[in-house]
Amino acid sequence: MSVLKNKKILLGITAGIAAYKTASLVRLFIKLGADVKVIMTPASKDFITPLALSTLSKNPVNSSFYSKEDENELWNNHVELGLWADYMLIAPATANTLSKMTNGTCDNLLLATYLSAKCPVYFAPAMDLDMYIHPSTKKNLDTLQSFGHILIPATSGELASGLVGEGRMAEPEDIVSFIEKDIVSKLPLKGKKILLTAGPTYEAIDPVRFIGNHSSGKMGFAIAEAAANLGAEVFLISGPSNQQTKHSFVHRINVVSAEQMFIEAHKYFDQVDIAILAAAVADYKPKNVVNQKIKKSSATLEIQLTPTKDILASLGAVKKEQFLVGFALESNNELENAKTKLERKNLDAIVLNSLQDKGAGFATDTNKITIIDKNFNEKSFPLKFKVEVAKDIMNEIVNKLQK
């Protein structure tokens, strides 16, 4: 899964021959799961039609503040467009537009939106060789980068004039790759590795039956996605779960029993910076596993149970520099029990949720949590979807690591 998935991208198109490439550019963004809106300068419509771009982006294309044909139509609000975007890309960025951006000239909708944007701005220059190497262009490129905008360098090749040299707009695939790599390089967990456990464990009684619980893995998988979206490489050790993740930064390791999860957790623990144990591990397992299916009879069936290994406590005992986070699902004396677990298992933080809270717990799409750190500081959150809860958890971990 790309870091651009679900991101809102505002594409500004100016009047250069390279504008024809923007159809492919929009298509690539959409394919990666981004939401794309397009603003065109009036002159850019001579190079590519708004109809093509609106069809590909699945959004209307704007090029003016209002429609001259319809006096009753509302104006296109450049402020709303600028605030809407997670990222703004101006491609192609002609010499004319670069000059206007540098000097704050605001004579069309695209430039008005650019001046209103609060998001990162990327720009991909496109012009002929002599224009590209002109001192005024070089000065404008330097000035825009001093504003914090990100230059996607032009490449060398055959230009519209027939000359061969620098000034050719980067190819759409290279533009998308550049933006993805730039975003990842600035993520707060870039270079960090995370161990994460999720889902239930199943403890075999016989070849057919097992002891398990109602955990779906939704919370753990949501945390895996949230961590990967912050740039971390995630080793996700999952018990039996139907949940899926397609993020390229998440490596899934499937296990069934608590013993298997214990082995895999210790296998990866020395490699990671952060460990988050969100799995609902069975506390007990049958002392003896029967090799054949137990036949039903009228007699009472008794199964002797023995404790499973405590994965969280065992990691806390060998912890070095890792930031270790546990989970506590409680039904009574919630805070007291969570704090005791936090201290006893040598954790850096614990995430508490209660079976008493409606909408929290197993197999739901929502959760309500309180995060407690090793100094017993508490931070409670309202009921949210687990995707949002996962973001809250990861943001709190990032904040703790930065202190």
Q: Which residues are marked as active site?
A: 213
How many Cα atoms are found within 13 Å in the side-chain-facing hemisphere of 172? 15
